[in-house]
Amino acid sequence: MTLPEHTTPAPLGPTLGEISRWHEHLRQLHARLRPHFARPEAHQHALRYLQAVLSDIPRKNGWQIAEQARQARPYGIQRLLSAAVWDQDAVRDDLRALVTASLSAPLPCQQEPADEAPFPVLVLDESGFPKRGRHSAGVGPQYCGRTGRVENCQVGVFLSYVTARGHALIDRELYLPEDWCADPARRLAAHIPEAVRFATKPELGQRMLERTTSAGLPIRWVVADTVYGHSPELRLFLEKQGYAYALAVPSTEVVCVQTRTGLLLSDVASIAQQALRAQEWQRLSQSLGTKGERLFDWARLPVVQAGVADGRHWLLVRRCLDNPNELAYYLVWAPPDTPLPTMVQAVGGRWHIEEDLQAGKALGLDHYEVRSYLGWYRHITLVLLASAFLVSITVQSHLTTAAPQESVTCTALIPLTPSEARHLLAHLIWPAPTGAPLICQWSWWRRAHQYWAGYYHRRRRQKAG
C-alpha cells in the first residue's frame, strides 16, 4: 500500500541516544575484564582492539587496528597479542557468560512446550584459515571448509550457543596436526606450550563441552557434522552427561537398526535404501532461512544398542527435495518419546554456527597475521568477544523495541541484526581517522618499515648465497 504523501513514518529504534549508549555498554564490558590484565596499558589496548574490530577498516591486522585506534605505531597492539600479560581464557569465560545472559532467558509471549523445543543447543564445527607460509602455529595442508579443498591453512574448532533468542560463538580451540606436535623446533618457534599435546578435533570439541558443562550453562541438545558424529568416544561422553545429540555421520557408518522385518546391520546408506518405505518419510522444516522454510523429507529408524532398541537411539535420514538421491545421516540420542519434529529442529540448529563464523569473519576473525600459538588464541578471543557484544545489544534492542503496528503510517522493519548494529557503530561512533598528521605519519611508517624489511631480506639472501 502506498503511503499518503503527507504522512511521515514514525522513526523506529535504535535512536541516536540508544546507539550512543552502546558505546557505554562496551566500556562497561571492558571494565569487567580489568582483573584479567596485569597492567592497565594492555587493558586499554584491548578496548582499542575491540573498537577497531567493530569498525569498518578493511583488514583487522595490527597495523590497521593501530591506525584506527589513533596510535602512531603498531607496537602496543602487536604486544597485546604477543607478549602482554593477560589471561585470554578468563576473557573467554566472561564472553561465554555474556552470551549466556543475553540468550538464555525465554522470549516474551513465546512459550514453547518443553517437549517440542530443542533449545538451548550447542553446535560444534571447525573453520579453516588459509595461510601462505609454514610458520604459523598448526599451519599445513588440511581440508579448508571455506574453500572446499585441501590447502595450506590453520584450522580452528568452535562452539556456538543457540537459543530461541539468537546464537553466538562461545569457545575456540586451535587444531595442531600430529606433525606439528612431534616437531620440537617448530613448536619452539611458534611458542607452543610444552604441555600441549596432539588432540583430534572431536577431543578438542569435548574439551570445550566440558568447560561449558563446568560453567553450568543450560543445555538440551548438542549437534555437529560428520567429523564429530563419527567419534564413538564423543557420543558416549554426551550420553554420560545426559545431553541429547544429533550428530551427522558419513554414509559408511555401520549401525544396527530395528526394521519391520527384523534387525539389519549395515552401513547407513544401505539401510536407507533397504529399510525405508515411501510412507515413512515426512516433509518437515529444519529451520527458517532468508528465503523461507528449509524443507526436507525425513525418516528415522530405532538403533539397536546391546541387542535392544531402547527408544533413545535413532538413525535419522534427511532427503533433499530437489535431488532425492542426496541423503544425509544422523545418529540421535534423545529422551524417550522425543517427536521427530524436535529432532529435525535440533539438526537445523547446526547451521547457525555457519552464520556465526561468517559474522566473525566480517569482524576480522581470519584477518590476523600472528604466527604464535598464544597470538592466535588472543586475536580469536577478542573477535568473539566483539561479536558477542553485538549479539547482546541486538537482543536487548529486540526486547525494548515495540513491534510496529499494522498501519499505513509505519514502515515494516526486520529486527536489528548484529551486522547492522556494527554498521551503525562503525559510522557513528568509531569512524576512520581523518586527521592529516596521523595519516601522514602512517604513510611514513609503512614506507620506512617496507624499506627495512626489504633491506634485511636482501642481506639474508646474500649471506645464504
DSSP result, 255-294: EEEEETTEEEEEEHHHHHHHH--GGG-EEEEEEEETTEEE
**Whether the Cβ atoms of residue 99 and residue 170 lie closer than 8 Å to each other:** yes
Tell me the C-alpha distance between 449 and 66, whole Å. Answer: 15
Identity of the residue numbered 24: E
- Where the chain has pLDDT below 50, the residues are 1, 3-10, 109-115, 402-410
Would you tell me how many other CB atoms lie within 10 Å of the CB of residue 382? 25
Q: What pLDDT digit, counting tens, does each position of 407-443 carry?
A: 444 456 788 899 999 999 998 888 877 788 878 887 8
Q: Are 45 and 76 in contact (CB under 8 A)?
A: yes
Average pLDDT, the chain: 89
For residue 404 the three cell numbers come to: 510496529
Pairing verdict, β 221-224 and 121-130:
parallel
Which residue's C-alpha cell is 572446499?
Answer: 148
CA-based max dimension of the chain: 81
Give residues with Cβ within 8 angstroms of 49, minimum separation 6. Answer: 65, 69, 77, 80, 382
Burial class (CB in 10 A: 0-12, 13-18, 19+), 103: buried
The predicted structure's pLDDT at residue 53: 95
End-to-end, the C-alpha distance of the chain in Å comes to: 76
- Give bridge partners of residue 265 from the DSSP assignment: 256
Q: What is the pLDDT of residues 294-338, one digit of tens each?
A: 999 999 999 999 889 999 999 999 999 999 999 999 999 999 999
Residues with Cβ within 8 Å of 338's Cβ and at least 6 positions away in sequence, in order, are 115, 244
State the pLDDT at residue 108: 52
Q: Name residues whose C-beta falls within 8 Å of residue 341's C-beta, 6 or more positions apart in sequence.
A: 116, 284
Q: What does the pLDDT read at residue 404?
A: 46
Q: Is the peptide bond before 202 cis (omega within 30 degrees of 0)?
A: no
Task: Give the strand pairing for 167-175 and 121-130.
Answer: unpaired
Question: What H or E segment, with its residue span, contains residue 314?
Answer: strand 308-319
Three cell numbers written together for 300: 528415522
Q: How far apart are CA 53 and CA 73, in angstroms?
A: 17
Give the cell for residue 314.
535413532
In contact, 96 and 133? CB cutoff 8 Å:
no
Instruction: Residue 396: name the closest of 19, 16, 54 by CA.
Output: 19
- Treating both helix axes as pointing N-terminal to C-terminal, what angle do 88-103 and 373-400 enclose, rounded to 10 degrees? 20
Separation CA 125–CA 361 (nearest Å): 15
Counting DSSP H helices and E strands in the chain, the numbers are 16, 12
pLDDT value of residue 9: 47
